[in-house]
Chain A
């Protein structure tokens, strides 16, 4: 494990020429929104870059984030990135299962201690450890354990980043986000339901190239991808500026491609790269397909009101409201968690799997 081949060797073994490598660096540089003149520096950094070990943990999630990242337009850039990292644990994608899989995860964590990249999708239930377990280990225990030796932690998807759908009112499982549990190291949030594949791989590429994390905003999001609102970069923005709005999904305005603001588009309060990077290999994005943005990458989007009601103020940020809701959500989660903190601690210290009996006791 210590002698993992460096990226340059991996690419050469795959028959990628120097030209192919330069092309790869040029597209990466553009993807990471770095100045184009940086491409040779990216190439230089990547030449000696070791393939980082990646451990991907899935908690209370729907596998949509994994679907998104695997459905990127392979075998392009994204495919290369996946061959350039060593994905040591991802229970949806790996062949091994059960104890063998957990043993592989533990071996990778030990061998790459302090160096591996931890990716998490899904929220973590604090209400009862039995709500979500992997090989009998509660999500919270697995996260805390894996976070200890991680060089960096990336929370992909709105559930891992902000609690997402599991945390939506009334938050039955006491779900919380990764950053509400891991507070002693930086957590990169890549929200979205799911996030854009190229955004996830772009952050991985940044880590691979610079052995560090990109600049983050106050919600832990990479500024290069979440710096603008959908509205800021929307091709329908000129209609908004002219006051031309579709009033229904089948009226004249809709047919003419006018602004969907009055139909509830959350573009003005949603920070994401959908309007520029787009989806399905750059084919389209929701607004281009005739439906307003639902704001899936913002905290508490599910509880933020009707998807079809116009946002009150086109320039206001949803964050303060969302932050308060999030705090309330955590409160509820922590309160429920306190009820069984005693037995949970015991579970953690003795590595005793959560039992069906235990789950029954808590209900």
Chain B
């Protein structure tokens, strides 16, 4: 048992339980005042097996997307709506950065104003 959380996850180690508790608090904060959170997975003292158990506990959600923007990135919604796993890969396939994001949709997924403007101008030129 950690704090107010009476050991809900049998077979889990303390490190990944702590992260789940942090995620739970972040989801509550998102619901209460729209505040978003990002956790850099590489900075967590989790081994490969700990991380796998953490991802198992979060489960699989409804969205899975691949982004090709200066390299490959993937976005996966977990079984907990609003909790996303975002990964950026190098050309050789190794993970450059991995974050757990708690938000309605990760920033990298959204179309950005600057790019929308470029798209509009380009389309306009073709129609002119």
The residues of A with any CB-CB pair to B shorter than 8 Å are 12, 16-24, 26-27, 29-31, 33, 35-37, 39-40, 73-77, 80, 276, 281-283
| Contact call B70/A23, Cβ cutoff below 8 A | yes
Q: Does B40 contact A (CB under 8 A)?
A: yes
Q: Given A23-B70, A36-B99, A282-B94, are A17 and B38 neighbors across the interface (CB < 8 Å)?
A: no
| Contact call B90/A76, Cβ cutoff below 8 A | yes
Which are the 3 A-B pairs with shortest beta-carbon distances?
A20-B70, A18-B112, A30-B97
* Given A22-B69, A283-B92, 5 new contacts (CB under 8 A): A17-B70, A18-B115, A30-B42, A31-B97, A36-B43
Q: Does B67 contact A (CB under 8 A)?
A: yes
| Contact call A37/B38, Cβ cutoff below 8 A | yes
Interface residues of B in 81-102 (CB under 8 A from A): 86, 88, 90-92, 94-99
| Contact call B40/A77, Cβ cutoff below 8 A | no
| Contact call B69/A77, Cβ cutoff below 8 A | no
Q: Given A18-B114, A20-B69, are A76 and B43 neighbors across the interface (CB < 8 Å)?
A: no
Q: Can you give 7 A-B contacts (C-beta < 8 A)?
A: A22-B108, A23-B70, A26-B97, A30-B40, A30-B42, A35-B43, A39-B38
A residues in contact with B78, CB < 8 Å: none
Q: Does B37 contact A (CB under 8 A)?
A: yes
Q: Does B73 contact A (CB under 8 A)?
A: yes
| Contact call B97/A281, Cβ cutoff below 8 A | no
| Contact call B99/A26, Cβ cutoff below 8 A | yes
Q: Does B58 contact A (CB under 8 A)?
A: no
CB contact between B90 and one of A16, A24, A276, A281 (< 8 Å): that residue:
A281
B residues in contact with A30, CB < 8 Å: 40, 42-43, 96-99
Interface residues of B in 6-54 (CB under 8 A from A): 37-40, 42-43
Q: How many A-B residue pairs have CB under 8 A?
A: 88
A residues in contact with B94, CB < 8 Å: 73, 281-283
Closest to A18 in B: B112
B70 to A: closest C-beta gap in Å: 3
* Distance between Cα atoms of A76 and B92 in the complex (Å): 9
B residues in contact with A31, CB < 8 Å: 96-97
B35 to A: closest C-beta gap in Å: 10
* Distance between Cα atoms of A37 and B99 in the complex (Å): 10
| Contact call A281/B70, Cβ cutoff below 8 A | no
B residues in contact with A74, CB < 8 Å: 91
The residues of B with any CB-CB pair to A shorter than 8 Å are 37-40, 42-43, 67, 69-71, 73, 86, 88, 90-92, 94-99, 107-108, 112-115
* Distance between Cα atoms of A31 and B40 in the complex (Å): 10
Q: Given A19-B115, A281-B94, are A26 and B88 neighbors across the interface (CB < 8 Å)?
A: yes
B116 to A: closest C-beta gap in Å: 9
B residues in contact with A19, CB < 8 Å: 67, 69, 108, 112, 115
Q: Given A36-B38, A73-B90, are A27 and B112 neighbors across the interface (CB < 8 Å)?
A: no
A114 to B: closest C-beta gap in Å: 32
| Contact call B96/A16, Cβ cutoff below 8 A | no
A327 to B: closest C-beta gap in Å: 37
CB contact between B88 and one of A12, A27, A73, A80 (< 8 Å): that residue:
A27
* Distance between Cα atoms of A31 and B37 in the complex (Å): 19
A residues in contact with B91, CB < 8 Å: 73-76
B residues in contact with A76, CB < 8 Å: 71, 90-91, 96
A344 to B: closest C-beta gap in Å: 47
Closest to A30 in B: B97
A residues in contact with B97, CB < 8 Å: 26-27, 29-31
A residues in contact with B39, CB < 8 Å: 36
A233 to B: closest C-beta gap in Å: 10
| Contact call B108/A23, Cβ cutoff below 8 A | yes
Q: Given A36-B99, A76-B90, A282-B94, are A16 and B38 neighbors across the interface (CB < 8 Å)?
A: no
B residues in contact with A12, CB < 8 Å: 114
B residues in contact with A29, CB < 8 Å: 40, 97
B16 to A: closest C-beta gap in Å: 17
B residues in contact with A77, CB < 8 Å: 90, 96
Closest to B70 in A: A20
Central interface residue in A19, A74, A77, by most chain B CB within 10 Å? A19
A residues in contact with B96, CB < 8 Å: 27, 30-31, 76-77
Closest to A8 in B: B114
| Contact call A281/B92, Cβ cutoff below 8 A | yes
B95 to A: closest C-beta gap in Å: 8
* Distance between Cα atoms of A29 and B86 in the complex (Å): 14
* Distance between Cα atoms of A19 and B99 in the complex (Å): 16
